[in-house]
């Protein structure tokens, strides 16, 4: 089975469903997206790894794992999402120490959080992407065009969440000084999802 490389497209958050996050992975050299439901802590950890300029005052669990691995010369070479059963994705960490390769089972959310910290590539098998991959609609005039009829409901849900996340403008009226103060407060309070949103607004400025 051939492997397909994935990049992280982003994280969407549902304000209507408390604690619901969707990690969106994007097919490299392709248009399909792979949405994976993850927990709040893992979403924050991934958001922190994506936002290089946000540094928590104390190491998160995945940061601790990275520090531990560095101390003992363990590296993660790649992450493979290798199985999909009843809507649950299963992943493996391909690790190396002293030129000996080991495969470690991991939750997909944890595996991706670690892949970001080790700058390791993320892969899945083509048959998994064929089964669970979707095409997010980018043109509202083409609502009638879908590539996977069985994925229409999932497609609409994820597209709606991405639109909700990207359309938030609660920080638009804030000055840069106010945004920087809010960013510092969010990091101190370990509210990394909020910190990521504020950081995005600062970057736009």
Between 60-69, 94-103, 146-155, 187-196, the lowest mean confidence (pLDDT) is in 146-155
Alpha-carbon distance of 4 to 125, in angstroms, equals 6
How do 75-85 and 122-125 pair as beta strands?
parallel
Q: Is 78 helix (H, G, I), strand (E, B) or coil?
A: strand
Alpha-carbon distance of 13 to 166, in angstroms, equals 10
Q: Which residues pair with 4 in a beta bridge?
A: 124
pTM for this model (two decimals): 0.68
Residue 204's pLDDT band, with cuts at 50, 70 and 90, is confident
End-to-end CA distance of the chain: 45
Name the average pLDDT for the chain: 81
CA 9 to chain centre: 7
Q: Mark whether 21 and 91 lie in a shared domain.
A: yes
Between 21-25, 94-98, 198-202, the lowest mean confidence (pLDDT) is in 198-202
Q: Mark whether 28 and 116 lie in a shared domain.
A: yes
Arithmetic mean of pLDDT, 192-201: 76
Q: Mark whether 116 and 182 lie in a shared domain.
A: no
Residue 171 lies inside a defined structural domain of this protein: yes
Domain coverage including residue 171: 166-204
Q: Mark whether 93 and 183 lie in a shared domain.
A: no
Q: What contacts 40, CB < 8 A, 6 or more positions away?
A: 19, 21, 193
Residue 121 lies inside a defined structural domain of this protein: yes
Q: Mark whether 118 and 53 lie in a shared domain.
A: yes
The answer to whether the beta carbons of residues 21 and 123 sit under 8 Å apart is no
Q: Mark whether 121 and 188 lie in a shared domain.
A: no
- Sign for the CA dihedral angle at 125, 131, 136, 142 comes to positive
Alpha-carbon distance of 62 to 80, in angstroms, equals 18
Q: Which secondary structure element, helix H or strand E, spans residue 46, and what is its range? A: helix 40-50
Arithmetic mean of pLDDT, 198-202: 78
Arithmetic mean of pLDDT, 56-85: 94
CATH of the domain at 31: 3.10.690.10
Q: Mark whether 90 and 185 lie in a shared domain.
A: no
pLDDT of residue 86: 84
């Amino acid at each position: 089975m051939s492997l397909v490389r994935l990049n992280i497209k982003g994280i969407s958050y549902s304000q209507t469903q408390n604690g619901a996050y969707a990690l969106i992975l994007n097919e490299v050299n392709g248009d399909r997206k792979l949405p994976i439901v993850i927990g709040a802590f893992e979403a924050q950890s991934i958001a922190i790894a994506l936002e290089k300029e946000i540094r928590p005052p104390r190491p998160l669990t995945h940061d601790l794992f990275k520090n531990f691995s560095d101390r003992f010369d363990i590296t993660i070479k790649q992450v493979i999402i290798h199985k999909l059963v009843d809507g649950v994705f299963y992943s493996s960490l391909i690790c190396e120490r002293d030129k000996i390769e080991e495969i470690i089972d991991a939750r997909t959310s944890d595996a991706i959080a670690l892949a970001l910290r080790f700058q390791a590539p993320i892969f899945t098998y083509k048959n998994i992407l064929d089964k669970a991959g979707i095409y997010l609609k980018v043109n509202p005039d083409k609502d009638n065009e879908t590539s996977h009829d069985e994925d229409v409901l999932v497609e609409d849900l994820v597209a709606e969440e991405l639109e909700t996340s990207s359309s938030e403008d609660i920080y638009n009226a804030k000055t840069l000084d106010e945004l920087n103060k809010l960013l510092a407060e969010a990091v101190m309070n370990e509210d990394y999802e909020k910190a990521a949103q504020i950081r995005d607004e600062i970057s736009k400025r």
